[in-house]
Structure 1
Amino acid sequence: MSMQSAAASSWTPPAPEIYVPRRMACVGVWEEAGAALKAYAIHRDRDAAVPILPAEIAAAARRKAFGVLQEVERDAGFHGLGYCIAHVGEEVVWLLVDWWRAGGIVCQKLLSAPLSSQADFKTVQAPFLACVWELAVIGHERDAWVRNMMRAAPDAQGYLADRLAPGEY
């Protein structure tokens, strides 16, 4: 179906849900085996009394993220830098593990854990990329990579220090 005929049809897309900002923060830089990840947390609960990233989820996310990186470290283009996002969402806990490789390319592995077992991350097989909240982090990370790494004198420490400010997005 062409875009022109789609516009002339009577099809109406379903209404998306209403956007409500979520809490986001960088919870540190995780380093292991020659790789460094900026670790971000997103939580659906806007109540600051609720931990943005419970310790059990953080520990499991870190283990899983570096497990993913062990799989890709043999890639000659891997820079040893990236970021991950642990997102306590409405349906599951999402874990996005993203790493940079040569050519300004970011790669990703997406995992999730059920809310009933928040540390049991498994690879997601569906063709998902990221939700609107996670895209706020991804957008910042793209710009941080360009600012700090895609220049005559790349600055890995500058990249690791260049973090999305904590807040609601």
Structure 2
Amino acid sequence: MRHLYLTILAAAFLMTSSLSSCKQKNKADDKILTEKEQSLGQKDIIPRSDKQTTTNTISNELSFLNTFDKKYPYEIKLLDKPVIKRRLEEMLGPQYAFVKSIWEVETPIAITNGIFYAWGMKAHSGGDPGAVLMADLNKNVLYVGIRKNKDEKFYSEDGSMVPQKMQEWADEQ
């Protein structure tokens, strides 16, 4: 009887230990699978830690502006378009709110040779304060000119020279 009891006890021990090792192996396999799933998922996430990465990742993000020729900026809510708003806020900082606050009277949008042009000013101001928004749609670059108290400041998203038409706007006023 004692022999039977020891055999049952040994069999139970062997079954328990084999089940335990299977569970540990499955946990290890699950851990490896989880790590592989995570690494695959991380490849799909594009880091956007700097402006250059963002610009390079999104190809010709401004091309949608081509469809707005001859429309008024208020019709399309130009300054509130997420792409435009985000990029203007990055480029202008607190001046973005100023541009929005004075953009009351405007001209229709004009697109010539891949250059987008929109102009707005404070009502009854004679153009001071006023602002012009331009975009080189081929280069995917925004430019802004702001007139305030007879002083013009120009902003270029990539640091390049502003288009000639923006300088002409400044000279006309």
The answer, yes or no, to whether TM exceeds 0.5 is no
TM-score normalised to structure 1 length: 0.23
Larger Cα-atom Rg: 2
For normalisation by structure 2, the TM-score amounts to 0.23
Decide which structure has greater strand share.
1
Whichever structure has more helix as a proportion of its residues is: 2
| Higher relative contact order structure (alpha carbons within 8 Å, sequence separation ≥ 6) | 1
